């Protein structure tokens, strides 16, 4: 089977954008879109990169989560597509912010991007206690890798890692995502091989690291690319 002949089942830039943020351990995607866009991405994020509090169903029993611990959504309906989603966005942002995340990304679904709601304005007015970014267009017709990289770059621009005195024999791993098959096993093996060479992995960009680690990217001596198609624009 040639994947090029089945474009309708290949994940696109929208999925890449969500995966990039959900690959940060203490970050969360807030989806501005219908539940049809939420359930798949919520299930994939939770199965590929489970988190400790994901095991508590009551912790995510509020509106917008629909029983899933990941990727809460504004569940847009026909009324919202005509008149905008102001009410739901104003309500959902504080709910997600109180979950203890260190970064929140408000991501438009393809349909929501047509409404024209100003996501940056909603974030500014919400006065959230955590860094937040708006992804109004995730490259819906672009490749998964393109959407992934675009979002990684936006997240880094917001977090603004500063130059620091680097730690010798340390690297950042770039170009790995939680969407890759057996990504955690691959990461463990890469860490093991580098450790045998006396090299420490400081951070894995959007593949298991925390926001604090991403803010210290400048302390690593080198950046090591795992998959070039997921890193060529980042590096």
What residue spans define the domains of the chain? 11-159, 167-230
CB-based burial label for 181 (10 Å; 0-12, 13-18, 19+): exposed
Counting residues of the chain whose pLDDT is more than 90, the rounded percentage is 81
Question: Which pLDDT value is given to residue 174?
Answer: 98
Assess if CATH 3.40.50.1980 describes domain 167-230: yes
> What CATH topology corresponds to 11-159?
Rossmann fold (3.40.50)
Contact (Cβ atoms closer than 8 angstroms) between residue 144 and residue 201: no
Q: Taking residues 10-34, what's their average pLDDT?
A: 96
pLDDT, tens digit, for every residue of 45-54? 999 999 876 6
Question: Which pLDDT value is given to residue 184?
Answer: 96
pLDDT, tens digit, for every residue of 88-114? 999 999 999 999 999 999 999 999 998
Interatomic CA distance for residues 91 and 88, integer angstroms: 5
Q: Taking residues 167-196, what's their average pLDDT?
A: 96
Counting residues of the chain whose pLDDT is more than 70, the rounded percentage is 95
Question: Do 11-159 and 167-230 have matching folds?
Answer: yes
pLDDT, tens digit, for every residue of 117-129? 999 999 999 999 9
The model's confidence at residue 3, banded by pLDDT at 50, 70 and 90, is: low
CA distances from 223 to 21, 178, 192 (A): 20, 19, 17
Angle 47-19-65 from CA coordinates, rounded to 5°: 65
The model's confidence at residue 1, banded by pLDDT at 50, 70 and 90, is: very low
pLDDT over 80 (residue 141):
yes
CA distances from 22 to 47, 71, 105, 166, 185 (A): 11, 8, 9, 27, 18
Interatomic CA distance for residues 222 and 202, integer angstroms: 10
pLDDT over 60 (residue 23):
yes
pLDDT over 60 (residue 142):
yes
Q: Which residues contact residue 53 at a Cβ distance below 8 angstroms, ignoring those fewer than 6 apart?
A: 59, 69
Any idea what DSSP says for residue 166? P
The model's confidence at residue 30, banded by pLDDT at 50, 70 and 90, is: very high
Say what the pTM is. Answer: 0.92
Closest CA to 213 of 223, 221, 224, 205: 205
pLDDT over 90 (residue 140):
no
Contact (Cβ atoms closer than 8 angstroms) between residue 222 and residue 32: no
Pairing of strands 200-204, 103-108: unpaired
Q: Taking residues 6-23, what's their average pLDDT?
A: 88
């Amino acid at each position: 089977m040639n994947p090029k002949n089945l474009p309708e089942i290949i994940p696109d830039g929208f999925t890449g954008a969500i995966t990039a943020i959900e690959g940060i351990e203490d970050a969360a995607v807030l989806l501005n879109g219908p539940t049809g866009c939420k359930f798949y991405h919520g299930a994939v994020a939770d199965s590929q990169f489970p988190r400790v509090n994901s095991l508590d169903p009551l912790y995510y029993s509020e509106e917008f989560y629909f029983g899933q611990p990941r990727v809460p959504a504004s569940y847009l309906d026909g009324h919202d597509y005509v008149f905008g989603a102001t009410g739901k966005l104003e309500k959902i942002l504080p709910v997600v912010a109180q979950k203890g995340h260190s970064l929140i990304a408000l991501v438009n679904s393809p349909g929501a991007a047509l409404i024209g709601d100003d996501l940056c304005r909603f974030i500014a007015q919400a006065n959230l206690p955590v860094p937040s970014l708006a992804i109004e267009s995730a490259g819906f017709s672009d490749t998964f890798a393109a959407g992934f990289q675009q979002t990684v770059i936006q997240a880094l621009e917001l977090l603004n890692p500063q130059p620091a005195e680097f730690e010798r024999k340390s690297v950042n791993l770039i170009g790995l995502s939680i969407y890759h098959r057996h990504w955690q096993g691959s990461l463990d093996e890469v860490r093991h091989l580098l450790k045998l060479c006396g090299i420490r992995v400081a951070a894995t960009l959007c593949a298991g690291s925390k926001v604090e680690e991403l803010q210290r990217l400048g302390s690593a001596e080198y950046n090591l690319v795992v998959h070039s198609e997921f890193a060529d624009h980042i590096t």
